[in-house]
Structure 1
Amino acid sequence: MTKIDTSMTPAPNAHAIVVGAGLGGLASAMRLGARGYRVTVIDRLDVPGGRGSAIWKDGHRFDLGPTIVTVPQVFKELWAACGRDFHSEVDLRALDPFYEIRWPDGSVFTARQDGEAMREEVRRLSPGDLAGYDKFIKDSEARYWFGFEDLGRRSMHKLWDLIQVLPRFAMLRADRSVYAHAAKRVKDERLRMALSFHPLFIGGDPFNVTSMYILVSHLEKEFGVHYAMGGVAEMARCMGNVIKDQGGVLRMKTDVDEIVVQNGRATGVRLASGETIDADVVVSNADAGFTYNHLLRNHSRKRWTAKKLRKSRWSMGLYVWYFGTKGTANMWKDVGHHTILNGPRYRGLVRDIFLKGKLADDMSLYVHRPSVTDPTAAPEGDDTFYVLSPVPHLGHDQATDWSLVSDSYREKMIKVLDEQLIPGFADRITAQETFTPDTFESRYRSPFGTGFSIEPRILQSAWFRPHNVSEEVDGLYLTGAGTHPGAGLPGVISSAEVLSQLVPDPEYLPVHQKVAAE
């Protein structure tokens, strides 16, 4: 007797639903559309981009989320997979310098792509650390090739995938934190900060996140740091246009309430309006925690239970103040596109944010001034700013009540900015908007109001992270910051690439039926 496997059946014009029009969802829709799927993207916001969207006030464009583009080749490859040229549709501008780091003692570190310029910065701050810095950069490159180009661009949903790479993890000391690795190479505390703060860009505690993430230093050196003219929101708009040109549909201002599951397989979605839309494949770009806890709330789960998700370590929250200033385009000549203002503490502040869940009186700030590069960000002669402070998420005991403290926290932020960076700015403010962790929870359905989903610790990365193919429900795939390989623009775009490797070709979709023939 011969077993004939007929678990694959022709499915012309197969339909894929993508829940969420964040960058990961849009990239997934583009890749599935390029492979012949009829794609519908559904999002509750009024514009595509998710956390990479923007809002406009009085001529100022406030870029809400990511402000820089690194590893631009992942976007070039995405567009190429759709038969298009990325650089003809998106205007990327290389930034030089990338950013400037300032400390309370008045010292400054200017990050650039040029290797000799970076070595000169190290030599100026701490001449004795130059050899250690060179070693750190070599360490970073090794982790880039393994962590990003290898693990980050293939699925890690099988335990065997993890077992195979454990020796390499051990050799690269993945158990060591980013900060600990920097401290092993350089002695100056300012340099240790400058070489270890990058995990904060993706929601990680530098004192606990695996040292694999020092790979960011290499990708900045190798590929530069860029800004998309029009902001990341413009990039998202271009991605939406690709999807539409493929015949796909973007349904904005539409809320998905549940993923429909029949016989253990995702068969579509149910909207908050009660409408049900059928699909052959469902992709969730919603936060992985929200996907499992809410969108699959009526389906029993074996791994990603509410208890497991509650006990997971989550990234920090964000307090972000967006504001425009009148007539300041020619002021503050020493303030460039990106500035990092360090508070008086590094380790102590990070501990308060991630471990104690305590809103500290001091703060470190990330300041984005896109109008020095992009005239469309503000009216002529004016400026647009985005100032971000990492804060505890809402899941800690005695969580911060932002309805009570938001205004007073902003006053502290004003004092820091006025004294250390842009004196007199407060009197020139026109339009403004403030996002707190409460905003992230309500606008993006982010668990605990986190900025970057599950924290990228070693036991919450790769196989340990929510997989791009769900082990709970057949026909369901996950993309975005909360899945493998993780947060950050290169991570979420790569998650779509990994997902595309896992979704069957549309003409051959599984129907879970085997027929025995003589």
Structure 2
Amino acid sequence: MTTALIIGAGFGGLALALRLQSAGIATTVVEARDRPGGRAYVWRRDGFTFDAGPTVITDPDCLRELWELSGGSIERDVELLPVSPFYRLLWNDGSQFDYSNDEAALQAEIARFEPKDVAGYARFLAYSESVYRTGYVDLGAKPFLRMGDMARAAPALVRRRAWRSVYAAVSAHIANEKLRQAFSFHTLLVGGNPMRTSSIYALIHSLEKRGGVWFAKGGTNALVDAMVRHFERLGGKLILSDPVSHIASTGSVVTGVTTRSGRQFEADLVATNGDLVHSYGLIADSRYAAAKSRALRRKRFSPSLFVLHLGLRGSLPQVAHHSILFSDRYKPLLDDIYDRGRVPGDPSLYLHHPSATDASVAPADCSTLYALAPVPNLGKADPDWKTFGMSYRETVLDRIEQTLIPDLRKRIATIFHYSPADFATDLGAHLGNAFSLEPLLTQSAYFRAHNRDDHFSNLYFVGAGTHPGAGIPGVVASAKATASLILDRHRHRTSD
């Protein structure tokens, strides 16, 4: 029987594990931390459940497919709850925009800001649909191993004017500045600057409208646990709390891994869901791997995040499940984060309030909340986050109090934060990045890390650093692309 070993139990690693195990490949996942999930880790403190990372679930069909491969049903293991509105957007002047899937309500919201933009939005939606079909349906789960693969995709990308930024694509149809922000901020959720991320990423709007926005009852990590249950039900094996310290290689093949505890695992193939730079660093005594690591370090990595977790007394009926608090500076703030290396004193925030949808994530008459602020990665700004994090915590609390929850500090029952330094330490993330490579056109598809390595014929990559990129649908699609390469090789081997 063919054997596979996957490094890392994030969404990408688990999605790949489910695909391989469902196809009859004996698969083992080795995870460094004490729980699966990777960036989708979870903390449970004082009766509160705190998701560490991704909280916006779109395209539930890509998740259902992971169960259906073996005749199962996702509903057996986890309940997905619809979120409405998708997002509530707020500005410092008191403006508010509810972004929902109710077409009439959405048009009314747009008209409150600029009546002429209702027609402009319809044109933008048509554009979003076109790039969704090109970028997600046609190319999202297709591996790009050769320049020829990129050349074949180029005409469609040219037709969609993929060299434009998402912000430019929105601005071509919508005049009001707040609405331009409302329909371009999504790239920040996958690590991209709306001012320079390819307009192909406008597909996210269509993806949300088609599939909705969802939350896993019990928290995002409940979805992770569901994936693990199904994987183990199929016979897969998960090993926790034992980081891989070395990937063994001979010539142009990898032969297995060694973990920190000293255990050695041999496998016919190895796939890594880990950070790209860290993963190549595990292949010791390989000049190729060392050169690959150096080349990766020269690429542009996404920013990091400062995440403040709050367990609050009382309910928050005025706070939506997902909220975006915009700074008065849009492009200048993005320039600070992506280019100037300045930690913003006036951060834009994404607020996650899961108890608005699911009361089980907090004690009775309490609320769970996290505030996420994009900040530069450690290569651009490296304050001492041990001390600076405590002061930045106050900056974030001030922003929320001024905009949304005036008595926030009085309500706090539990508080802690997660900084770029933690991304680097806990996840091995190069420069403490939060989304791997920045999603630029020049770092996408063929120009992103390949789903199969160019030198080691049985070394594969999955997750945010590979095609198509970050976000739950992205990393699940990367698993589909990677699995297609593995299973094609597996079929050829078994037919010989």
Query: How does the TM-score come out when normalised to structure 2?
Result: 0.97
Please state how far the C-alpha of 1:407 moved relative to its aligned partner.
Answer: 1.0
Find the aligned partners of 1:212 and 1:400 in 2 and give their Cα distance.
34
Task: Show the counterpart of 2:286.
Answer: 299
Specify the code of the residue in structure 2 equivalent to 1:133. Y
Contact 2:51 2:219 in 1 (8 A): yes
1:349 equivalent in alignment to 2:333: yes
* CA–CA separation in structure 2 for the residues paired with 1:464 and 1:420: 41
Q: Is the 8 A contact 1:285 1:480 kept in 2?
A: yes
Alignment of 1:257-296 (within 5 A): 257-292=245-280, 294-296=281-283
Q: For residues 500 and 73 of structure 1, what CA distance do their matches in structure 2 show? A: 17
- Say if 1:353 and 1:392, in contact at 8 Å, map to a contact too: yes
8 Å contact kept, 1:369–1:385: yes
In 1, distance between residues paired with 2:382 and 2:462?
Answer: 29
* Matched AA of 2:308: W
Q: CA deviation at 1:507?
A: 6.1
* Candidates 436, 449, 452, aligned match of 1:469: 452
Question: Does the alignment pair 1:379 with 2:366?
Answer: no
1:190 corresponds, among 178, 181, 187, to 178
Letter of the structure 2 residue corresponding to residue 445 of structure 1: G
For residue 445 of structure 1, the aligned residue among 428, 432, 450 is 428
**C-alpha contact (below 8 Å) 1:303/1:472 kept by paired residues:** no
Gaps of 5+ in 1: 1-12
Please give the residue correspondences for 1:400-411 in structure 2 after superposition, counting only pairs within 5 Å: 400-411=383-394
What is the CA–CA distance in structure 2 between the aligned matches of 1:507 and 1:163, rounded to whole Å? 27
In structure 2, how many angstroms separate the alpha carbons of the residues matched to 1:261 and 1:495? 24
Stretches (4+) displaced over 4 A = 505-511
Q: Where do 1:68-467 residues align within 5 Å?
A: 68-292=56-280, 294-301=281-288, 305-326=292-313, 328-329=314-315, 332-396=316-380, 399-467=382-450
Comparing 424-433 with 249-258, which one deviates more in the overlay? Answer: 424-433
C-alpha deviations, 1:407-466, integer Å up to 9, x for none? 111111111111111111212212222100000111111111011000110000000000
Q: What is the letter of the counterpart of residue 448 of structure 1?
A: L
SS where residue 235 of structure 1 aligns? Answer: helix
Residue 304 of structure 1 deviates from its aligned partner by 6.2
Q: Secondary structure at the match of 2:97?
A: strand
Q: CA deviation at 1:343?
A: 1.0
**Could you state the TM-score of these two structures normalised by the residue count of structure 1?**
0.93
Is the contact between residue 114 and residue 221 of structure 1 (CA under 8 Å) also seen in structure 2? no
Paired residues of 2:60 and 2:211 also in contact (CA < 8 A): yes
* Contact map agreement 1:35 1:505 (CA 8 A) in 2: no
Aligned-partner Cα distance in 2 for 1:151–1:303: 30
The secondary structure found in structure 1 opposite 2:285 is: coil
| Distance of aligned partners of 1:504 and 1:224 in 2 relative to their CA distance in 1, 3 Å threshold | closer
User: Aligned equivalents of 2:340 and 2:492: distance in 1?
Assistant: 48
In 1, the alpha carbon distance for the partners of 2:393 and 2:105 equals 36
Q: Determine if contact 2:445/2:468 at 8 Å carries over to the other structure.
A: yes
Partner of 1:66: 54
Computed over aligned residues only, the root mean square deviation of the Cα atoms, in angstroms, reads 1.6
CA–CA separation in structure 2 for the residues paired with 1:302 and 1:83: 39
Q: In 2 relative to 1, CA 134–20 (structure 1 residues): closer, same or farther, beyond 3 Å?
A: same
Q: Provide the rounded CA distance (Å) in 2 between the counterparts of 1:501 and 1:508.
A: 10
Whole-angstrom CA distance in 2 between matches of 1:404 and 1:91: 40
For the residue of structure 2 that corresponds to 1:454, the secondary structure is coil
User: What is the one-letter code of the residue matched to 1:177?
Assistant: S
Q: Which residue of 2 aligns with 1:4?
A: none
Question: Residue 441 of structure 1 aligns to a residue in which SS?
Answer: helix
Return the letter of the residue paired with 1:433.
F
Report % sequence identity.
38
Is contact 1:371–1:378 with CA below 8 Å preserved after alignment? yes
CA contact (8 A) 1:37 1:506 kept: no
What is the alpha-carbon distance in structure 1 between the residues aligned to residue 403 and residue 17 of structure 2?
A: 44
Q: How far, CA to CA, are the matches of 1:22 and 1:304 in structure 2? A: 26
1:359 Cα offset (Å):
1.1
Q: Is the 8 A contact 1:14 1:506 kept in 2?
A: no
Q: CA deviation at 1:334?
A: 1.6
Task: Give the conservation status (yes or no) of the 8 Å contact 2:351–2:372.
Answer: yes
Please give the residue correspondences for 1:17-28 in structure 2 after superposition, counting only pairs within 5 Å.
Answer: 17-28=5-16
Shift of 1:403: 2.1
Which amino acid in structure 1 is aligned with residue 355 of structure 2? S
Contact 2:77 2:229 in 1 (8 A): no
**Amino acid in the other structure paired with 1:67:** T
Q: What does residue 42 of structure 2 align with?
A: 54
